[in-house]
Amino acid sequence: MKMFIQAQNVLQQLHERTEKCSVGCPILDRCLHGGVPTKSITELVGESGSGKTQICLQLVLSAQLPPSHGGLSASSLYIFTEFPFPVRRLKQLSRSLLSSHPGVLNSDPLSRVFLRGIYSAEKFVNLLPDIEIFLTYWKSRLLPVRVIVVDSIAALFRSEFDNSRLDLRRRSSLFFKISGGLKSLAERFGLVVVVTNQVVDFMTEGDNQMRIGNLTHLYSSGRRVCPALGLSWANCVNSRMFLSRDQYGETKRRTLTLVFSPHLGQCCSEFVITGDGVFGV
């Protein structure tokens, strides 16, 4: 009878073996059961100003921390598709990281974050072999590259496609090439892969942005919204987290909510963005 094992035990073993990377806040890490997982694609979706880039910047810095502090002892590759890149904010957050972890890091955190700008989906597909070479080169280094951020995936598809059947088919093909390439790299190199996505206004009840995961409706800034790129792209990511923001008088409230994930149940946490970083409340 030992040849049979309970599915619950398999799930528990899988959860324990999956490495996680801290997002730089204990409260948000607890909500995510330890942080962002390796070997999969995690999507942050939200409107402009909801905190997507802020969390990504904090993540690539936290990745440099040793596992005892929630990190991966790793460098990061940050692929940005919208300009300019917020280098001043990254520098501000790096100073905050050094002050909150004195004596833990032995080098300037900025030296362990590699940047690459990209302008189109086709160029991103062509970049994937170069990323593989880059990861291989750094694999044996002191702090190998183990985090890739793509900020944002929606910008790559903003203006090159229309609603013709041919363009929609070409767009879906690029979705699967990009996500397939990133998933392959994530599995082979044990990477955390995070992509950001934008939202669009939800137009009609008949829209194909049907319920996916835990939430029936997504609201931000008093508007009903849905993730950009549609259902085809939703099937390309392993986990989706929705960042919403709302204004209550003088108070801004931002919330991180899990939409779907293979390894997490429902979770939700409010957070604030300060000069020192992103913090759950």
Tokens for 259?
Answer: 């939409």
User: Which portions of the chain are predicted below pLDDT 50?
Assistant: 10, 14, 207-210
Query: Angle at which helices 165-189 and 121-138 pack, to 10 degrees?
Result: 10
Fold topology of 18-280:
Rossmann fold (3.40.50)
Report pLDDT digits (tens) over 218-244: 999 989 999 999 889 999 999 999 999
Cβ-count burial of 43 within 10 angstroms (0-12 exposed, 13-18 middle, 19+ buried)? Answer: buried
Rounded Cα gap, residues 271 and 216, in angstroms: 22
- Please state the pTM of the whole predicted model: 0.90
What's the angle, vertex CA 42, arms to CA 39 and CA 43, rounded to 5?
160
DSSP 40-87: EEEEEEE-TTSSHHHHHHHHHHHTTS-GGGT--S-EEEEEE-SSS--H
In the prediction, which pLDDT does 140 show? 81
In the prediction, which pLDDT does 251 show? 74
In the prediction, which pLDDT does 205 show? 56
Q: Which of 86, 223, 83 is nearest to 158 (CA)?
A: 83
CA of residue 169 relative to chain centroid, distance? 25
In the prediction, which pLDDT does 217 show? 82
- Reduce the DSSP state of residue 177 to 3 states and report it: helix
In the prediction, which pLDDT does 207 show? 46
Any idea which residue has 């003088």 for tokens? 250
Rounded Cα gap, residues 254 and 23, in angstroms: 16
